[in-house]
Amino acid sequence: MSEILVIGHRNPDTDAICSAIGYAEFKRRTGLPEAVAARCGDTNDRIDFVLRTFGVSAPKFVADVAPKVRDVMQTEVLSVTPGATAADALAMMDEHDIRILPVLDEDRICQGLLSLFKLSKFLFPAAQRLIDSRRVLSSLENLARTLGGKVLFANEAAREEDLILMIGAMGLESFAERLEKYPREKLAVVVGDRWDIQNLAIREGVRALIVTGGLAVETKTLEAAQRNQVSLISSPHDTATTAALCRASVAVHHMLNEDYLGLREDAPLAAVRARATASGFAAFPVMDGQGRTVGILSKTDFLKPVQRRLILVDHNELSQAVQGADQVEILEIIDHHRIGALTTHQPILFRNEPVGSTSTIVADCFLRHGVELPPPIAGLLLAGLVSDTLNLTSPTTTPRDAEVLAKLESASGVNARDFTEKLFASGSLLTLKSAPQAITTDCKEYDEDGATFSVAQIEEIGFNQFWQRKDELLAALGAYQRERGYLFSALLITDVAKQCSLLLLAGTEELLEHVDYPRVEAGIFELREVVSRKKQLLPYLAHCLQRMRTEA
C-alpha cells in the first residue's frame, strides 16, 4: 500500500504537528487507511509537552519526499556468488527470464555483473577462437556438480585448475598420438565405454577421466585410476552433452564484468536518471550505506510512478514545504494562512479558511461529518488551537475558533485556560536553545514580489530571557540572513501574557528606516498589541517593502 503523508511546514510549530496528526486520523476514519502523519522538522519542548500530555507519538520524520532510487528499485535481488558456476547462473537466468545477474559475496557486496551476452561468448566462442572451446577452468568438484555426476575417485577435487578437454572418440592409435601434444596433468578426457581409451588415459596419468552415459566403471578400472592418481567422474549424459556441460562448470568470477554503475538507495532519482540512462549498462546494483546490495534497478524502472503523495497542512507555499514536495503529487491542502504561489498538475481539495489555526479546520472536519473524535486527538487539536490563537486572545481569532474550542474542551475533558498556562510554561526557547536554534525553530520563508525574506516567532512569558540574550540573538539573526541571502530576516518575540512583542530585524539600514514602530535599540523595535505573525506582522512588513520601493 502506498503512503499518503499528512505533513506540516518546515520548522513545525504546535499547530502544524497537531493538525497533521489530527487530519491523518480523520482521513483514516473516512476511508483513507494509508494516511500517515509526518513532520519535516524537529519537535520542540512545547510540542513534546503536548504529545506527552495526550499520550501520542510524534509524527514520522521525513526530511525529503523527492523520489529516491529505493522507491523504484526491485528489492528481490536474484544473484549468484563468485564461486557459483556458469551453469548455475544460466539456470537462474532461464528460470526467471533475466539477462543480467549481480555477483555478490557473503556480505552482499557486489563484485560485478554477469551478463547472458558474456556467458554466451564464453560458452560458444567465435570460429577464430575455437581453441578456447577445449579449455575448462574449473575444479573437479564443480565439474561433477555441473554434470550431475558422481565422483568415483578424486585427488584435490576442490582445487580450481585450467584443464584441457579431450574427447576419446577416435581409434586408440590416434588417441595415443594426440595425448603426446598436451601436458597430461592438464587433460580431462571424456569417453564412453571405450575401455581401451580409458585404460590408456589412466596409464598415461591424465588429470581426470570422465566416463559418459552413466555406464558402469569396472572395478579394475577404478583401482587403476586410484593407483595412478587419476580422478574418475561418472556422467549421466552422452559424450556430446557432457563435453558441452564441462565448459559451463567455470566459476562466474572469471567472467563477470567488474566495471558497473552502482547506485545508492537514498540517491534522488532526478540526480542519477540521466547518468544511468545514458550509460551502456542495462542494470544497476543498489547499495545501502554499508555498501551492501539491497536492490537492483533496470532502465525501465525509471519509468515507474512513485507511490508517494502528500496532504499539506498549516501551509500552502512550496518554500515552506518539505523538500521534494514539488516532485510528488499533492492531494490536498488544509490551511489558514495567506494563499501563496503553488501550482499543481491536477485539481486538488484546497481548504483555506480565515480562522485562527489549522487545528480549528481539522476539528471542524470531524464535527461537520459526524466522525468520532477520540479524546487524545481532541486534546491535540485543542493544543494546536490555543497555541496559534493564544487561547483566543490573538487578533487572528474568529468566532468559529471559540465555538470549536468549546467542543474540543468537552471531547477531551481538558480546560483550555489551565492547559494554555501549562503549555506556555512548558518550555522557553530562549532558555533551552542556542541562539541559532532559537531563531529558526518556528521560522518561515516568504516571497513578496521577488523579495525573499524570513520571519520567525518565539512566544514567551515575559521578556526577561530575551534581554539577557539579545546580543547573541541579533548576531545569529544577522548571520542567518546573510547565509541565506535574504533581503532581511525578522524575529518576533511575543509576550503571551501582556499581548505585545519585540521585533528584531537583520537587513539593510534602508529597510530599518521604514519601520515606524518605536526603536528600542539598534535592530530592535517595540510592537505593542502585535502578537500575530500572519495577520499583523506580515502585512506590515509587506507595506514597508512597498514604501521602500516606491521611494527608491
Range list of H helices, 237-339:
239-247, 269-278
The set of residues, in sequence order, having a beta carbon less than 8 Å from that of 26 and lying 6+ positions away, is: 362, 365, 366, 371
Q: What is the DSSP string of 356-381?
A: S-HHHHHHHHHHHHT----HHHHHHH
- Taking Cα atoms as reference points, which of 42, 51, 59, 61 lies closest to residue 432? 42
**Residue 278 domain flag:** no
pLDDT of residue 258: 84
Angstrom distance (rounded) from CA 390 to CA 393 = 5
The set of residues, in sequence order, having a beta carbon less than 8 Å from that of 223 and lying 6+ positions away, is: none
Range list of H helices, 171-267:
172-179, 195-203, 219-227, 239-247
- Taking Cα atoms as reference points, which of 122, 42, 64 lies closest to residue 306? 64
Q: What's 544's domain CATH number? A: 3.10.310.20
**Residue 187 domain flag:** yes
Range list of H helices, 216-287:
219-227, 239-247, 269-278
**How far is residue 501 from each of residues 1, 231, 434, measured CA to CA in Å?**
47, 93, 20
Question: Quick one: 37 and 157 in the same domain?
Answer: no
Q: Looking at the 3D structure of the chain, how many domains does it have?
A: 3
Angstrom distance (rounded) from CA 304 to CA 463 = 54
Residue 283's beta-bridge partner residues? 298
pLDDT of residue 384: 97
pLDDT of residue 48: 93
pLDDT of residue 336: 93
- Residue 268: exposed, middle, or buried by beta-carbon count in 10 A (0-12, 13-18, 19+)? middle
70 with 273: CB under 8 angstroms?
A: no
Question: Quick one: 224 and 358 in the same domain?
Answer: no
**Pairing state of beta strands 500-507 and 488-495?**
antiparallel
**Residue 294 domain flag:** no
What are phi and psi for residue 325, nearest 5 degrees? Answer: -60, -25
Question: Quick one: 228 and 322 in the same domain?
Answer: no
pLDDT of residue 461: 81
**Residue 285 domain flag:** no
Joined together, the cell numbers standing for residue 34 give 494509508
pLDDT of residue 132: 61
344 with 39: CB under 8 angstroms?
A: no
For 479, half-sphere exposure in the C-beta direction (CA atoms, 13 angstrom radius) is 11
Question: Quick one: 244 and 370 in the same domain?
Answer: no
For 89, half-sphere exposure in the C-beta direction (CA atoms, 13 angstrom radius) is 32
Angle at 309 between CA 304 and CA 312, to 5 degrees: 155
Amino acid at 416: A
Angstrom distance (rounded) from CA 373 to CA 52 = 19
Question: Quick one: 96 and 240 in the same domain?
Answer: yes
Question: Quick one: 398 and 459 in the same domain?
Answer: no
For 108, half-sphere exposure in the C-beta direction (CA atoms, 13 angstrom radius) is 14
Question: Quick one: 313 and 411 in the same domain?
Answer: yes
Q: Which domain holds residue 523?
A: 430-551
Residue 190's beta-bridge partner residues? 167, 210
For 356, half-sphere exposure in the C-beta direction (CA atoms, 13 angstrom radius) is 27
Question: Quick one: 249 and 165 in the same domain?
Answer: yes
Rg of the chain (C-alpha set) = 37
Angstrom distance (rounded) from CA 211 to CA 222 = 11
**Total count of residues recorded for the chain:** 552
Question: Quick one: 341 and 383 in the same domain?
Answer: yes
For the whole prediction, is pTM greater than 0.85? no
Question: Quick one: 421 and 341 in the same domain?
Answer: yes
Amino acid at 280: G
Question: Quick one: 116 and 214 in the same domain?
Answer: yes
**Residue 348 domain flag:** yes
pLDDT by 10s per residue, the chain, length 552:
478 999 999 889 999 999 999 999 999 999 999 999 999 988 888 899 999 999 999 999 999 998 899 888 998 999 999 989 999 999 999 999 989 999 999 999 999 999 888 888 777 765 544 446 678 888 999 999 999 999 999 889 999 898 999 998 888 888 888 888 889 999 999 998 888 889 899 999 999 999 999 888 888 989 999 999 999 999 999 988 998 888 888 888 888 888 899 999 999 888 898 888 888 888 999 999 899 999 999 888 888 878 789 999 999 988 889 999 988 889 999 999 888 777 787 888 999 999 999 999 999 999 999 999 999 999 999 999 999 998 998 888 999 999 999 999 999 999 999 999 888 877 778 888 899 999 998 899 998 878 899 999 998 888 988 999 999 999 999 999 999 999 999 999 998 878 899 999 999 888 888 899 999 999 999 999 898 888 899 999 998 988 888 876
**Residue 300 domain flag:** no
**How far is residue 360 from each of residues 26, 264, 276, 353, 392, measured CA to CA in Å?**
13, 42, 47, 9, 11
**Residue 77 domain flag:** no
**Residue 74 domain flag:** no
Residue 412 has a CB neighbour count (10 Å cut-off) of 22
Q: What's 218's domain CATH number? A: 3.40.1390.20
pLDDT of residue 33: 95
Question: Quick one: 324 and 436 in the same domain?
Answer: no
